[in-house]
Amino acid sequence: MIDVSVIVPVYNVEKYLDKCLDSVVNQTFNNYEIIIINDGSPDNSEAIIKKYLKKYPQKIKYYKKENGGLSDARNMGILKSSGKYLMFVDSDDYIAEDMIEKLYNCIQTQNSDLAICNFIRINPAGKEIKNYNYNPGATNLIDNKRILLNQPTACNKMYKKELFNIMRFDVGKYYEDLRLISKLYLLCNKISFIDDFCYYYIERTNSIMKDINVEKNLEIIDAIKSIKSFYEQENKYEAFKDEIEFLMIDNIIISTFTRLICGKKRCREYLKEYWNFIKLDFPNYTNNKYIKKLDFNRKIIYYLNSHKFYFLTKLIFKLKG
C-alpha cells in the first residue's frame, strides 16, 4: 500500500520543471509515488519528464492527455493515484525536502483528514513573502470557523483520499482552489496544522491573480456563488454567513477590484456587475466582523474600493511601482 500520492500537473513549465521535480523526488519520506500528468504541454516539458522517469522509474508514474486545464489534470491524477493520502504540487512551484514527512506525521499523529503547512510566496522580483495560516491546532471547521478564511490553495496540504470520493476540482473554471478547498473543509472531521514553511509558490506574472482579463476575473462571482450554494445545501450557510461574506470581501472588493482598477481603463466599466452581485447576495457586508481584523494595508484598500475611490487605489499601487 502506497502511503502518499503526489500529483503534479504539467503545462508549459519547462523553465521551472527541473526544480519542481528535484524537490519532489528527493524527499525524506519513503513510501510515496509521484503522479505526473502532462496536460498536452506544447513545450519541452515532456522531455524533462522522461528524463526523470528514466532515473526514478519506481517513484514516478507518467500520463499524457489532451489539454483540459489544471482541474482536469488534477482530477486525472486523483483517479490514477494509489496512495491513502494525496498532495498536489504545481509544476512551477517546489517543496521542502521534508514536506511529505512532516505532513504525514502530523496527519497520522492527530488522526486527521487534512494537514496544512505554511507556505512561502516568491514574487516576480524574487522576494520571499511568508504566508501564515490561522492555526487553531487539531480541530474542525464547525468549532473553528476562521479556518475557512485561510488561503484556499490546494498545494500546501495533505488530504485523506476519501475526501475526493464526494467532489473533485471544477473543470473549465477559474478559482478552482477557492471553489473546492472552501467546501472540503466542511467535510473534515479533523484538520491539523504545522507551523513549518514547506511549500514554495512561484508567483508568475501571467497567473490569474495578475490577469486583468475581465471574463476570467468575473468567474470569482460564480466561485463565491458556488461556495454559498454548497453551504446552503448542507444547511450550514447561516452558521458560516460571516465567513463566506468575508471571502467575498477579500476576493472581490479587495483583490479583484484592485486588479481591474489598476489595469486597463475599460475594465472599470465591469465593476457594476460585481456591485450588482454584492448588493443582491451580501447587502450588509459593511457590518462583517472580520473587516476590523484586516491588516492596515488591506483595510485601506478595502475602504477605498468599497467607497469607490478607485483613483486613490490606482495611485497607491502606481507609487508602489
- Print burial letters for 125-163: b (CB count within 10 Å at least 16), e (below 16): eeeeeeeebebeebbbbeeeebbbbbbbbbbbbbbbeeb
How many other C-beta atoms can be found within 10 angstroms of the C-beta atom of residue 28? 11
Q: Which pLDDT score is estimated for 208? A: 42
What is the fold, at CATH topology level, of the domain defined by 4-202? Spore Coat Polysaccharide Biosynthesis Protein SpsA; Chain A (3.90.550)
What mean pLDDT do residues 105-116 have? Answer: 98
User: Do residues 91 and 77 make contact, with C-beta atoms less than 8 angstroms apart?
Assistant: no
- pLDDT of residue 321 exceeding 80, the answer is no
User: Do residues 9 and 73 make contact, with C-beta atoms less than 8 angstroms apart?
Assistant: yes
Output the average pLDDT for the chain. Answer: 94
What mean pLDDT do residues 37-62 have? Answer: 97
For residue 129, report the phi and psi dihedrals to the nearest 5 degrees. -125, 120
- pLDDT of residue 292 exceeding 50, the answer is yes
Each residue of 137-189: pLDDT tens digit?
999 999 999 999 999 999 999 999 999 998 999 999 999 999 999 999 999 99
For residue 104, what pLDDT band results from cuts at 50, 70 and 90?
Answer: very high
For residue 266, what pLDDT band results from cuts at 50, 70 and 90?
Answer: low
Each residue of 123-137: pLDDT tens digit?
888 999 999 999 999
Each residue of 201-254: pLDDT tens digit?
998 765 444 555 767 888 999 999 999 999 999 999 999 999 999 999 999 999
Q: Cell numbers at residue 12, please? A: 508549459
Q: Which pLDDT score is estimated for 265? A: 58
**Cα-atom radius of gyration of the chain, to the nearest Å?**
20
For residue 296, what pLDDT band results from cuts at 50, 70 and 90?
Answer: very high
What mean pLDDT do residues 28-55 have? Answer: 98
Q: Burial of 180 by CB count in 10 Å (0-12 exposed, 13-18 middle, 19+ buried)?
A: buried
- pLDDT of residue 192 exceeding 70, the answer is yes
Each residue of 198-212: pLDDT tens digit?
999 998 765 444 555
In degrees, to the nearest 5, what angle opens at C-alpha 211 toward C-alphas 210 and 215?
A: 145
Q: Which pLDDT score is estimated for 209? A: 44
What mean pLDDT do residues 47-61 have? Answer: 98
Tell me the domain boundaries of the chain. 4-202, 214-320
Percent of the chain with pLDDT over 90: 88
Q: Which pLDDT score is estimated for 124? A: 87
Q: Measured between alpha carbons, how far apart are the two ends of the chain, in Å?
A: 52
Q: Which pLDDT score is estimated for 205? A: 63
In degrees, to the nearest 5, what angle opens at C-alpha 173 toward C-alphas 256 and 70?
A: 105
Among 180, 308, 292, which Cα is nearest to 246's? 292
Q: Which pLDDT score is estimated for 301? A: 97
DSSP 235-280: T-TTTTHHHHHHHHIIIIIIIIHHHHHTS-GGGGGGHHHHHHHHHH
Handedness of CA 247, 251, 252, 255 (dihedral sign): positive
Write down the residue that cell numbers 452581485 correspond to: 277
Q: Burial of 321 by CB count in 10 Å (0-12 exposed, 13-18 middle, 19+ buried)?
A: exposed
